[in-house]
Amino acid sequence: MRSFIVAMGILVVLLVGLEGSYLILYNLTFKNVETLEMVYRLVEEEKWAESRDVFLIFKEGYQKKEKMMKALVDHAEIDSIESSLIAVEEFIKARSKPDALDATARSIFLLRHIEQKNRFNVENVL
């Protein structure tokens, strides 16, 4: 009976840890996606100065949260996100609308994918 209680305690701790890490990732990615969607809309309207300003604010916030994300997410995914964010910044500087839209959409997809991949559900467990 004692070993059963210990096993159940360990299971509860693991489930709480998984849910806690998911909630942290959800909060980190949700704000980032919202801001990048705003950048996307500004680029669509060709408001280059505003899109650059919003992106720089996003980038500063992302860099503050980067350590937490690196602790919870696969480094290959973080590298993909960072390379697409570099592309977004450079395409906005170059005022290349199609390329900036593509890179921003890719960044949004990658950030959403992190949240979906780490969601605790049957699909991800199996």
**Residue 83 within a domain:** yes
Task: Check residues 85 and 21 and name the one with the higher pLDDT.
Answer: 85
Q: Let me know if residue 35 belongs to a domain.
A: yes
**Residue 6 within a domain:** no
Averaged pLDDT score across all residues of the chain: 84
Establish if 18 belongs to a structural domain.
Answer: no
Mean pLDDT of 84-102: 94
Q: What is the CATH number of the domain that holds 106?
A: 1.20.120.290
Q: Which of 21-35, 52-66, 82-96 has the highest mean pLDDT?
A: 82-96
Give pTM, 2 decimals.
Answer: 0.75
Give the residue from 113, 118, 119, 120 showing the smallest Cα distance to 33. 113
Q: What is the pLDDT of residues 32-78, one digit of tens each?
A: 888 999 999 999 999 999 999 999 998 888 888 778 777 777 778 88
User: b vs e for 41-63, b when ≥16 Cβ sit within 10 Å of the residue's Cβ?
Assistant: ebbeeeebeebbebbeebeeebe
In a domain, 55, yes or no: yes
Structural domain that includes position 29:
23-119
